[in-house]
Structure 1
């Protein structure tokens, strides 16, 4: 099955879909072909500063089956998408850059030795265990280095105004993981290890065939798929990591893994919280017990506690560690507000000075003059993977958009004129329009209405100065136009793949005024600043970050659909200018 997944990648990045939709494509030079499909239908030159982006090169598999190494394949073209506005000729010479930013999403910094992990349900939920999960911090630092080295939008040359990380910054919502995440983005040295200081204590040396045991010859399911033995890897993964920190100020958005146990269960369940810092780790229950726990995860904490109590397989004794304690949303905010974690700023990374007391995880911030970001908290305190917005937050978003709009549509479609300058808005959340459908009431505020993605889409269509909604969660690259009742009322939804599952992307977004009644959003994907291939056993920081990408590509649970198509990669997204 793993080989079939690899072959499924072929053609996913081709430009056939773009041609069928009549969507323009421009890139470098002549028509060519990569192992991923057709590329570069050249009608214009690449931007002068494309180095370090997927306009220049893309991680591409070598060969067609088995465990595959990666190499630098041809870059992807920029696709012009005119579903919301016509692309007018000559705009390249008229453009003015308004803003430039980078979206990081779903980095999932993982403490792979945490006792409260459910790796054993991987046969039923592939994200429960990843063969590369000990290397998330090395991968994140390499991504930070890439953002710093690129430094500016490739199409405009405008230095990055901001970096926004759209949730699932941690995986197990542990204080230890949060500290590693903050140090990676702000700069400094840390040790990505919990429990015993001198050894790894997790499923990857459990001897179970269910997991990749890199330091053993056990014929686990990963080695049966071609995974190598790499003696010394687990120890190397736990050595100190040094990050330069971002050169650009950055803002934080909540994800479900930053709010719920395993991204699924509500916080504050005493027996589960105790398991975090305890010394017993369930590693390899029977298949029946694993299935029972997996099914219980869909029902809630009571069902999970009952399923765990029914496990008869003896747990592994590990070294207890208080740094694994789960944080609350208020503690998450407080850590960002701590002056020790300011880094390149701003203080709090978007969270208001009193947010640690109020628990309000949403806010607005200036990206650039005249361009404002709205950071939403789409997590649901009731738990479960998908999200929604509480009524107070939903009404706050509406008021923020009204206050920044000179002209908007009321709920009946009538134009409201306010006579003030339009602010351009970009909205950021973890969840997408289709995954914001968890309307279970907040246990702490059970009478507050919850609003889903369809309601938010309808709200945003009332405001011509809403340009885009940028999000993560799905681990997919997907860009969706949301046309409105009139041309002025459309906006783009920009969903970017994770940095834990292949293809491990982040995304640059540049906002430009074409001086012809239209705006363009340029979206350009970037990969971490690590070699596409390194020698197995190269335990340097770049060698481990390279292995992180390679293992994620070969993960037997990899979903090739996450890559998206050419129209979801490097794009120019047209829309009417609300200022014209």
Structure 2
């Protein structure tokens, strides 16, 4: 049932990715309580019985994609640009590849945990001189028309989570939010401040450089980029039908207030949090805080840089450094801004530990003062009674968008899994008993998904071998109480069963799409014990609180209006508003079995 990521999506993601001590438990008296007999949600149906008629009715727990989803409207508004409309929700699909879904489990079910995953927010300072928008001349999808709206869109997502009541299947309220990386886009101090303020609450001004003027690509006069306020320029995107919106650039740089999450939140690091552009060398930091922004380069230079990104064999970003230096004279003069400085791992950890950003807690959001020693960005935490979360750091620090684990962290992960597993299997498949361990169901969080993890050496940590996704899968499969590995990075909804000849050693990998690209999803998780030797992990996609419909004349430039426009522009990205993917059936949104699901597994 899992969807298949199309080759075009893989190529697009490569360009976009390579460019540019506290407890969060459920409400007292709810987690672990035996639920009363539950009626299946109106949209529940088994995958084996598709298609089937779905009945919908208002739900008491807040809107999710079980009720309604954003859909592209009928005829194009202008050119290929299509407006968004509210559409029917997506049904729940029961997936039983790892364990049979036994009849009557709803009557026996015990709720264990409920939480939300954010991933790939990519809060972006679009005026940063180190951004490489010029790659768009090589591939139209290498720059996003919606990038200036990331803060407004993320605020609407926080508002949606705050409005959620009990989960649709367990009725537990979400106990926390886990971000699985790429919280920011360019590894800059100002973007990190925006992210921490977004999550914990406060005022954000998504503007850098000159406080009175926008200095990015969207008023550069180059037809390569959408100029929403220029009625005379027939740019590439207006030719596709993107609208003229006077006042857009003033609106997107105005202050916006985030209410902050009302529940605790935890943080996992991604490649864009660790490296400028998610793949560039930290040695380029002088360009980020400088006063020259390169907007276009000759085709030969763009092609050379694209080849370097594709090969991943330029960890010091020598190719880009040479291009930036060679074309300094033709670059746009912008206002230098020290707030764009690159963040070291120490900076990233220290900012999370700042009490000013504690919000609903916990202070550090998973990290503690001990993590500053050695700049370790991995930890474990208690999700609920007998449920443990483990957040791992899969990033390279030398300049690459792929992921991996170092030997030291892999061994730490093994010890942490063993500490919560009374039964495990050694590398040769022999059963090992550890009576001193406290048994718990385990959920693992990372930024990278298994296909994007390689054994590429990390030039920043040359003394340590790296380990790929297959090795992580093999390690997790040794511990029968691992329920799922939850991640992002791909910007695609995809759920993969990792089956084993010993069924208890099987687990699910849940990969969730981005909130910067179509289809703008976060994911709500609910974990329940079915009382029959199986557990169910429910996954429900959620959108932001912004209305699906934008103003008819594109004249609503309020924070809410901008958040709606953010989603609509993403749905109209090159190649998405036309063709097979326009029906929002496959591709990045995933197939039906990658969206709203009940994932059944054997309990340890």
**So what's the TM-score if we normalise by structure 1?**
0.90
After superposition, the Cα gap between the structure-2 partners of 1:29 and 1:399, relative to the gap in structure 1 and judged at 3 Å, is: closer
Over residues 230-281 of structure 1, what are the superposed CA-to-partner deviations in whole Å (9 max), with x where a residue is unaligned?
00000000111101100110000010001112101232x1xx2111111111
The answer to whether residue 67 in structure 2 is matched with residue 53 in structure 1 is: no
Distance 1:557 1:137 in 2: 25
Matches within 5 A, 1:209-220: 209-217=223-231, 218-220=233-235
Distance 2:462 2:348 in 1: 23
After superposition, the Cα gap between the structure-2 partners of 1:438 and 1:230, relative to the gap in structure 1 and judged at 3 Å, is: farther
The answer to whether residue 121 in structure 2 is matched with residue 134 in structure 1 is: no
Pairing partner for 1:199 from 198, 206, 213: 213
After superposition, the Cα gap between the structure-2 partners of 1:250 and 1:393, relative to the gap in structure 1 and judged at 3 Å, is: same
Shift of 1:190: 1.7
Pairing partner for 2:418 from 363, 383, 402: 402
The answer to whether residue 386 in structure 2 is matched with residue 360 in structure 1 is: no
Q: Which residue of 1 aligns with 2:115?
A: 101
Give the SS at the match of 1:574: strand
Distance 1:98 1:174 in 2: 38
Give the SS at the match of 2:324: helix
Q: Which residue of 2 aligns with 1:411?
A: 427
Distance 1:460 1:109 in 2: 31
Pairing partner for 1:278 from 267, 277, 290: 290
After superposition, the Cα gap between the structure-2 partners of 1:418 and 1:299, relative to the gap in structure 1 and judged at 3 Å, is: closer
Distance 1:465 1:407 in 2: 9
The answer to whether the Cα contact below 8 Å between 2:44 and 2:93 also exists between their aligned partners in 1 is: no
Over residues 89-144 of structure 1, what are the superposed CA-to-partner deviations in whole Å (9 max), with x where a residue is unaligned?
11111111101110000000000000110001024355642101111000000000
**So what's the TM-score if we normalise by structure 2?**
0.87
Give the SS at the match of 1:349: coil
Q: Which residue of 1 aligns with 2:301?
A: 289
Distance 1:493 1:293 in 2: 33
The answer to whether the Cα contact below 8 Å between 1:126 and 1:557 also exists between their aligned partners in 2 is: no
Q: Which residue of 2 aligns with 1:434?
A: 451
Give the SS at the match of 1:434: helix
Number of residues paired by the alignment? Answer: 544
Give the SS at the match of 2:564: helix
Matches within 5 A, 1:515-554: 515-535=531-551, 536-554=554-572
Give the SS at the match of 1:354: helix
Give the SS at the match of 1:86: coil
The answer to whether the Cα contact below 8 Å between 1:497 and 1:505 also exists between their aligned partners in 2 is: yes
The answer to whether the Cα contact below 8 Å between 2:62 and 2:163 also exists between their aligned partners in 1 is: no
The answer to whether the Cα contact below 8 Å between 1:266 and 1:382 also exists between their aligned partners in 2 is: yes
Distance 1:312 1:339 in 2: 41
Distance 1:29 1:331 in 2: 46
Shift of 1:307: 2.8
Give the SS at the match of 2:365: helix
The answer to whether residue 96 in structure 2 is matched with residue 82 in structure 1 is: yes
Distance 1:154 1:339 in 2: 34
Q: Which residue of 1 aligns with 2:275?
A: 260
Q: Which residue of 2 aligns with 1:388?
A: 404
Pairing partner for 1:171 from 179, 185, 210: 185
Q: Which residue of 2 aligns with 1:143?
A: 157
Over residues 9-63 of structure 1, what are the superposed CA-to-partner deviations in whole Å (9 max), with x where a residue is unaligned?
9xxxxxxxxxxxxxxxx863799xxxxxx87544x98895453100010000001
Q: Which residue of 1 aligns with 2:468?
A: 452
Give the SS at the match of 1:475: coil
The answer to whether the Cα contact below 8 Å between 1:405 and 1:418 also exists between their aligned partners in 2 is: yes
Structure 1 unaligned residues grouped into runs of 5+: 1-7, 10-25, 32-37
Over residues 394-432 of structure 1, what are the superposed CA-to-partner deviations in whole Å (9 max), with x where a residue is unaligned?
000000011110111111111112234411100000001
Q: Which residue of 1 aligns with 2:327?
A: 311
Distance 1:30 1:333 in 2: 42
Distance 1:160 1:510 in 2: 8
The answer to whether the Cα contact below 8 Å between 1:102 and 1:507 also exists between their aligned partners in 2 is: yes
Q: Which residue of 1 aligns with 2:441?
A: 424
Distance 1:438 1:383 in 2: 14
Distance 1:125 1:162 in 2: 38
After superposition, the Cα gap between the structure-2 partners of 1:126 and 1:523, relative to the gap in structure 1 and judged at 3 Å, is: farther
Distance 2:567 2:146 in 1: 8
Q: Which residue of 1 aligns with 2:599?
A: 573
